[in-house]
Amino acid sequence: MKKKIPEFKNEDEERSFWAAHDSSDYIDWKKAHNPIFSNLKPSLKVISIRLPESMLEELRLLANKRDVPYQSLVKIFLSERIDSELKMHHQRA
């Protein structure tokens, strides 16, 4: 018999609880199913970034060759670099 999950007043209280407790004491993970989240879009945050005009023009040229908007290409480049950096960091650890 697993322990009963307490009622939480808010997300901060729940977050603190799970940070201090092992979920396997409360949930039988062997019975868990992988959920399917269709059409979920990640939360987006609008930012402002200053780039040299020459860099922006080069980005636009590269994006045009790939037939994508330049903002999308910037996101692709950032995502690839972040993945690369995280892999290098995990290999060193």
Give the separation between CA 59 and CA 65, rounded to whole angstroms: 10
* pTM of this prediction exceeds 0.85: no
Judge whether 6 lies within some domain. Answer: no
Is 59 part of a structural domain of the chain?
A: yes
Query: What is the DSSP-derived secondary structure letter of residue 21?
Result: S
47, part of any domain: yes
Q: How many whole angstroms separate alpha carbon 14 and alpha carbon 63?
A: 44
Element (H, E) at 35: none
Q: Do the domain assignments include residue 4?
A: no
In a domain, 40, yes or no: yes
62: domain range? 11-92
In a domain, 17, yes or no: yes
Quick: pLDDT tens for 38-75: 788 888 899 999 999 999 999 999 999 999 999 999 99
Residue 3 in any domain: the answer is no
The number of distinct structural domains making up the chain is 1
Distance CA 11, CA 22 (A): 17
Report if residue 5 sits inside a domain: no
For 33, phi then psi, to 5°, come to: -120, 150
